[in-house]
Amino acid sequence: MKKRYPGIVMLFCHLSFTLSVHSQSSPDASAMQALRANLGNPINLEWSDPDPCNLNLVHCLNNHRVDKININSKNLTGSLHPELKNLSELTILEVSTNQLIGPIPSLAGLSLLQQLDFSHNNFSCIPPDFFTGLMSLQSIRLDYNQFSSWEIPESLKDASNLENFLATGANISGTILDFFRADKFPGLIHLHFGYE
Ligand SMILES: *[C@@H]1O[C@H](CO)[C@@H](O)[C@H](O)[C@H]1NC(C)=O
Ligand SMILES: *[C@@H]1O[C@H](CO)[C@@H](O)[C@H](O)[C@H]1NC(C)=O
Ligand SMILES: *[C@@H]1O[C@H](CO)[C@@H](O)[C@H](O)[C@H]1NC(C)=O
Ligand SMILES: *[C@@H]1O[C@H](CO)[C@@H](O)[C@H](O)[C@H]1NC(C)=O
């Protein structure tokens, strides 16, 4: 009996060692778990590993922080979890051509974000503070969503590196051109919006 005891202790040590390696391996694990939990069809993603850095279509930096998520055209339902904004090193988020519903969550403060694609989904709205602090944003696609009528929020002025703003079929109202003529967007190359 006594001889077996150390073996059990060793097993426990091994387990706790494995768990602590996991939680250290990516500080983004819980936010990615929340994202997965709110997507209705995650079987299409084959996301089963608890370490987000091992997931298909997810890219991490050397520091094990998630920097890119590209889950376009995966027939995903459900919604995007509000704690996506915990992924503070995210640079690219693409969720185009799925059937996602509900509000696009605020990503305010994600200062490294460069590229966003929410196009061809069923999102219902975008929050007014969405663009607050998105100073690296170069490209955003919002085209073809079932938005209720909205105006471009003042917070877009933070995105002074914007090159592409695509929002055809996105139900924008208000004085769009006046907004973009304000000389706030020196790099703007593509501005598409309309009512198709
Ligand atoms: C997101 O960050 C907040 C504030 O730091 C924290 O309370 C929350 O638990 C985090 N959520 C997830 C899913 O990691
Ligand atoms: C997409 O999902 C729906 C159910 O949510 C299913 O009926 C359909 O076959 C799926 N299409 C593809 C291409 O996977
Ligand atoms: C998404 O919008 C399309 C087009 O309006 C509609 O046919 C489809 O039923 C909607 N899907 C969901 C999940 O709301
Ligand atoms: C645009 O928004 C209005 C008001 O929220 C809504 O009644 C209308 O159906 C929307 N139009 C489209 C094409 O989604």
184 versus 67: the higher-pLDDT residue is 67
| Number of residues that this document lists for the chain | 196
Ligand 4 atom, smallest distance to 146 CA: 14
Domains of the chain: 51-194 (3.80.10.10)
pLDDT band at 178 (very low <50, low <70, confident <90, very high): low
| Residue 18 main-chain phi, psi, to 5 deg | -60, -45
**In the chain, % of residues over pLDDT 90:** 68
Quote the mean pLDDT of the chain.
Answer: 86
Condensed to tens digits (0 to 9), the pLDDT of residues 119-145 reads 999 999 999 999 999 999 999 999 999
Phi (first) and psi of residue 142, to 5 degrees: -125, 5
pTM for the whole structure: 0.84
Ligand 1, residues at Cβ distance < 6 Å: 30-31, 34, 83, 86
C-alpha neighbours within 13 Å on the C-beta side of residue 39: 22
The rounded Å distance from CA 193 to ligand 4 centre is 15
Nearest to 87 by CA among 68, 104, 102: 68
pLDDT recorded at residue 190? 79
Examine the pLDDT at 75 and tell me if it is beyond 60. yes
Q: Closest ligand 1 atom to the C-alpha of 86?
A: 1
- Ligand 1 atom with minimal separation from the 85 CA: 1
Average pLDDT over residues 16-21: 43
Quick one: average pLDDT of 108-128? 97
For the CA of 77, the closest atom of ligand 3 is 13
Q: How confident is the model at residue 182 (pLDDT cuts 50, 70, 90)?
A: low
Q: What is the pLDDT of residue 15?
A: 42
Ligand 4 pocket by C-beta < 6 Å: which residues?
A: 146, 148-149, 171
Instruction: Give 73 Cα–ligand 4 centroid separation in angstroms.
Output: 25
pLDDT value of residue 195: 60
* Position 13 confidence tier, pLDDT thresholds 50, 70, 90: very low
**Residue 173: predicted pLDDT:** 85
